[in-house]
Amino acid sequence: MDYPINQIRNDFPILSEKVYGKPLVYFDNGATTQKPRQVIDRVIKYYYTENSNVHRGAHQLSNLATQAFEEARNYIARFIHAASPKEIIFTRGTTESVNLVCTGIQHLIHAGDEVVVTAMEHHSNLVPWQQMCEKQGAVFRVIPVTGRGELDLPEAEKILSNRVKILAVTHISNVLGTINPIKKLVEMAHRHHIPVLVDGAQAIAHIHVDVQELDCEFYAFSAHKAYGPMGVGVLYGKSSWLEKLSPYQYGGEMIDRVTFEKTTFNSLPYKFEAGTPNVADVLGMETALRYIGNLGIDSIQRHEDALLELATHELSAIPDVRIIGQSPYKTAVLSFVVDGIHPYDLGTLLDQMGIAVRTGNHCAQPLVEFLGLTGTVRASFGFYNTPEEVAMFIQSLKKAVLMLK
């Protein structure tokens, strides 16, 4: 079946907007994706017809909201192939999911223990572990990257040992686009009984995710990078490990019984969902993932890989351009620099031509500095982008380079 690009683009109202009088070419999907009408309508429908607190009421509206909320949990469990819906925790996004695990596992980390991340982590999967190590007196260790932007697996073998209490690793680099060999890393970690947390923020909308096949203990992602609302996301955790974690927050819903003498906590997943949840955006997230599911992740990946291949080929032909990240295992992200031109200047000119890209260190400052850079220009693709937009991007970039040289 042909990829229904026109139908897809018609579902996204913002793609018809103009920037400085020019058609919008939105290549900043790695930062956040746009939302289809179906997601926007689902959020509005909740507030129009179902608005009520979940799990707490005996009335019809509360029952309707609770049923929709829990069906969203069930669908998301199926989407990532979790063993049970109780392994799906709703959070504010990847950052909160990582902090939840980091805080919850802290009582198991002692002085002299080791925590391992990789050199390509987003700050959200680096700083929490670094700060926890400082607090607990643990050793913070980093798996390096190679010159072409891949994890150094022989070094990882050396670093992973029985002293390591958790490995935190990104599935796809938000700077390089590199798809990391998560299953292999998990196997390496499990030989030393190390649990693994995977930051899936850049993966969930682009490649197939099966948490049971990966066998990771935790997997985190945000809705807004998968065509859903901002401020909501998911932490998947194996039940056995979620039971070991201390609660991240305290309050209503996450309790079983409260007396002045003692409080006992609720069962999974509610143990980690204190307070009134963001019901409307959870339903929007479910709708976004259903949209992805209906398109088919394999079709999406083929489309985005073709865009990446085209953009890489055209970009490579421009003098003085250096593409950052040369792994053959990439998706959706293309970072580059132009010798003698600051990335911010390029990004500003491209914006005036209607091209939305990201510039800077992309919340991965240690990685960018390791690569000997202060920043890059990053074009990141979504399933609604087109070869025609790539051509417009390349044409605009050539003009910008000529203006700045």
Amino acid letter at 166?
A: I
102 counts as catalytic: no
Which one is catalytic: 102, 133, 216, 363? 363
Catalytic annotation, residues: 363
